[in-house]
Structures are given as C-alpha cells and as structure tokens.
Amino acid sequence: MKLKLRPPLTGLLLLLAAQIPFSAFAAGGDNKLEIFSWWTSGGEAAALDTLFAATKKAIPGVEIINATVAGGGGSAARPVLQARLAGGNPPDSWQIHPGWELLGQYVAANYCEPITDLYKSEGWDKVVPKGLIDLMTKDGNTYAVLVGVHRGNVLWYNKKVLQKNGINAGDKMTFDEFFAAAEKLKAAGVTPLAVGDSGIWATAQLFENTLLGTVGPQGWTDLFTGKMAWDDPKVKQAAETYGKMLAYQNSDHSALTWDQAVKAVIEGRCAFTSMGDWTYGEFAKAKLKDKEDFGWVSHPGTDGAFIVVSDGFPLPKNAPHRQNAISWLKVCGSKEAQEAFSPLKGSIPARTDVDKSKFGPYHNWSMQSFAKDALLPSCVHGEAAPAAFQQALNDAVTTFVVDKNADTFVKALAQAAKDSEMAK
Ligand code: BGC
C-alpha cells in the first residue's frame, strides 16, 4: 500500500518547506556527525569527550550526536546497532573490536567501506603495528582505525586494603598466591573479589583470564585455531579454578555493572577485580593515583601475555555525513587525540610513536607489556571467535555460575566450537 498525503497535510509540508533554507536539503549539507558506542561509564564518557573536543576543532560548527547504548562490553549496544545497519540507517561511525567482530559481523555483511587510503595518507601504516592492522584487513583492504588498545588480563587491587591486611601482590601472581590472599581477606571480613556481571560478559572475562592463566599463550592460540579441543583437561582445570575464584566474589555480583564492581574496590569494600584496563578510567575519574591508591598485576598465571581488547571505528557505506565521518576517523587515528584519550580511558594508544612521558606508571607498564609480551585476541570482546561462539561462551558461563559443573561447561564449549566456523 502506498502512503498518500492528504491535501491539508501536503499544504502544511509545503508551507514548512518554504521556511527551511534549501541548503538543509542538500545531500550531506547538515553539519552533523553521529557516533555510536557503549562508552557510558564515568571514565569512558570522559575519554570519549576528548575525541569529541578534537573533532569539534577539526570540523568547525559540527553538531555531534552521541549515540550511546549503556552496557559494558557492548552486549546491549550491538543488537541495536545491527538493527540500524540492517535497516539501512547507519550512524556515521560506530565502536568496533577488530578481528571477527569487525570482519565477520560488519565487513562480511557489506556495511563498511575500506579506508586503506587513509592508512597511507595519514601515515598510519607506519605507526600502527602490523599485527593490529591485519586484524582489520580483508583481501588487502583495511576497514577501521583504532583509537586505543586495552589489556584485558589485569588484576586490580585497592592498595590500602591489601597493605592493611599484610598482603603484597608482587610483580606477578600465581593462582595459589591469589587464593592465599583471598583467604586472608575473607578472614578479615573483606570481600576478596569484586565482580559486576549484570552483563554476563564481565564474569566471562574472569573465566577468559583464568583460561589464559591455565593454558598459556600457546594453548590459547591452539584453542582458537582448532588444535586444542575445548573439552581438553586443561580447559576443565581452568573452569575449576574459575569456580574456586567465584567463591570469593561479592554476593551482589549479578546486580552490579562492571564499573559498580570497580567502585566497590575504590571504596575498599572489595580488594581485587579482574578486568580490562578500562578499569583504569574509573580510578582516574575518581582521582585515584597509580601505585598509591590502587595497584595491578597480570591476572594470575598470565604474566608475559597481553589479551588485546582494542577499540576502533569504521566508515559505513552510505554514511549520512560522509565527510564528517572521514574527519572523525582522522581524529581517532591522530597522535594528539590518542595522547589525550588514553590517559582517561586506560587503553594505550594504537600508535607506537606517542610521547611516553605523557603517560603515568600504569600506561608505561602496559606499553612495555604490549611491546614484549605474547599478544592474544579476546574472545569475550569479539576478536578471537565468531559471534556465535562468543555467545555460546556467555551462555555456558551463565549456567556455570549457578551449577559450577565443569564437565557440562567444557562439553558446551566443545560443541559450540564444532558448530562454529572459527577453526574451519
Ligand atoms: C571495550 C572498552 C570498554 C569495555 C567496557 C570493551 O568491549 O573495548 O572500550 O570500556 O568494553 O564497556
């Protein structure tokens, strides 16, 4: 059925149109830029603002539409975005993780334009590690620019709480050391581990970190390339260790978001939290100081490995404001913007030519780790595996948190891996 405008309405529209300058109807004539992300926590929003401020300088008079959907890890944002993309209503750019998420969900569906030329004209091909560019490249075309690289496998702690309880976290930590500290804290009436898994991904990340701490970097690569089975005894061992850790978590974990769990650490209600270094953004926002108020160590057993959780932005096909979208991408890839963004976000710049003296102890530690450690893609954040496997992991974790059955857990993962195109 065709929609017919009734005559009085037609008249009204003509009247309105007569009052609107013609330029407003010209393609791309409106000076707007809509950016879609899930950066809504205190630290995330503050960091995003630095990118917006730089964009406003680059595009005078631009009106930025900050299209956010709350929910850490993007679990709530992605379905909204998918509906918009499928409906032909893309924002001007959106937050992506490289690897499977970008290539499998957006590039394969033909939603993105290559931006390979920008890599040359902006010189990004010379300053962004090739390994990262490869994660965004298909058939010789690169599809996104990265603004920062998070380290996923970090165990954060409230320094004063540990000191008060005579605990020294050291430069690296084993699972046994973690459990000894947890026992001590529990005996002193402090909740050892803060988890905020109202979005299940946060506890899936606790498992992901524990999995790496158990199977090591080679085991990680083998699992995601089909060389090691997901029901291997080592994966089961990781599930059991993860189950043991859950016994030390806060009782209200399922009611809290990841940043509320960080708040529990900030306020000293809990001692540790195992979470990517967007956590740093929350500490920074609360004006806490590296090594004085809070400390960190690699998640137990993961010293020498860096789980990459990188954030980038692509150029959509039919971007509503294409020129502004390109200016946004240029800002995201610039040295100045990355130097301003990272200290507030917790990630390190994707560019390696930044001035390290502009960064504090945590960032320098993470930059060193990035330069020398085994770099591994995250599954919980969509890089290492297709969306179906990522979802299967979240589902298996949801069940495990309740039944703690390691056998069913690894069986579910093994089945999901078989069904997935990940290792084919
Ligand atoms: C993103 C981070 C974000 C975190 C929590 C991750 O998926 O890469 O930028 O801060 O989720 O929302």
pLDDT in tens, 372-398: 999 999 999 999 999 999 999 999 999
Helices (H), 157-312: 159-164, 175-187, 201-224, 233-246, 258-266, 279-285
Residue nearest to atom 9 of ligand 1 (CA): 311
Helices (H), 26-173: 42-58, 77-86, 100, 116-121, 124-127, 130-134, 159-164
Per-residue pLDDT of 128-159, as tens digits, reads 999 999 999 999 999 999 999 999 999 999 99
Q: Report how far ligand 1's centroid is from the alpha carbon of 391 (Å).
A: 17
Residue 200, pLDDT score = 96
State the Cα angle at 13 between 9 and 14, rounded to 5°: 115
Per-residue pLDDT of 298-356, as tens digits, reads 999 999 999 999 999 999 999 999 999 999 999 999 999 999 999 999 999 999 999 99
Per-residue pLDDT of 286-299, as tens digits, reads 999 999 999 999 99
Does the pLDDT of residue 280 top 60, yes or no? Answer: yes
422: pLDDT confidence band, cut at 50, 70 and 90? confident
Q: d(Cα 388, Cα 305) in Å, to the nearest integer?
A: 25
Q: Which residues of 237-270 are buried (b: 16+ CB within 10 A; e: fewer)?
A: bbbebbbebbebbbeebbebbbbbbbbbbbeeeb
Residue 81, pLDDT score = 98
Per-residue pLDDT of 72-107, as tens digits, reads 999 999 999 999 999 999 999 999 999 999 999 999
Q: d(Cα 176, Cα 85) in Å, to the nearest integer?
A: 47
Q: d(Cα 85, Cα 182) in Å, to the nearest integer?
A: 46
Mean pLDDT of the chain: 93
Residue 281, pLDDT score = 98
Q: Report how far ligand 1's centroid is from the alpha carbon of 62 (Å).
A: 26
Q: d(Cα 93, Cα 333) in Å, to the nearest integer?
A: 14
Q: Facing residues of 96 across strands?
A: 312
Structure letter (DSSP) for residue 368: H
The two tokens of residue 175 are: 């699972």
Contacts of 28 (CB under 8 A, 6+ apart): 320, 321, 322, 323
Contacts of 20 (CB under 8 A, 6+ apart): none
State the Cα angle at 68 between 62 and 71, rounded to 5°: 160
Provide the angle, in degrees to the nearest 10, between the axes of the packed helices 387-403 and 201-224.
120
Q: Report how far ligand 1's centroid is from the alpha carbon of 17 (Å).
A: 43
Does the pLDDT of residue 5 top 50, yes or no? Answer: no
Residue 384, pLDDT score = 98
Pairing of strands 141-142, 144-151: unpaired
197: pLDDT confidence band, cut at 50, 70 and 90? very high
Residue 280, ligand 1, Cβ within 6 A? no
Per-residue pLDDT of 148-188, as tens digits, reads 999 999 999 999 999 999 999 999 999 999 999 999 999 99
Q: Report how far ligand 1's centroid is from the alpha carbon of 261 (Å).
A: 15
Residue 29, pLDDT score = 59
Residue 16, pLDDT score = 38
Residue nearest to atom 1 of ligand 1 (CA): 73
Q: Report how far ligand 1's centroid is from the alpha carbon of 300 (Å).
A: 21
Closest CA to 97 of 77, 83, 117: 77
Does the pLDDT of residue 23 top 60, yes or no? Answer: no
Above pLDDT 70, what percent of the chain?
93
* Strand arrangement of the beta sheet that strand 294-298 belongs to: 191-193, 270-274, 154-158, 294-298
3-state DSSP assignment of residue 195: coil
Give the side-chain half-sphere CA count within 13 A for 202.
27
15: pLDDT confidence band, cut at 50, 70 and 90? very low
Pairing of strands 191-193, 270-274: parallel
Residue 72, ligand 1, Cβ within 6 A? yes
Q: d(Cα 139, Cα 116) in Å, to the nearest integer?
A: 11
Q: d(Cα 423, Cα 419) in Å, to the nearest integer?
A: 10
Residue 381, ligand 1, Cβ within 6 A? yes
421: pLDDT confidence band, cut at 50, 70 and 90? confident
pTM of the predicted model, to two decimals? Answer: 0.93
Which atom in ligand 1 lies closest to the alpha carbon of residue 40?
A: 12
Q: Which residues of 371-410 are buried (b: 16+ CB within 10 A; e: fewer)?
A: eebbbbbbbbbbbbbbeebbebbbebbeebbeebebeebb
Residue 90, ligand 1, Cβ within 6 A? no
Does the pLDDT of residue 403 top 70, yes or no? Answer: yes
191 close to 248: Cβ distance less than 8 angstroms:
yes
Per-residue pLDDT of 214-241, as tens digits, reads 999 999 999 999 999 999 999 999 999 9
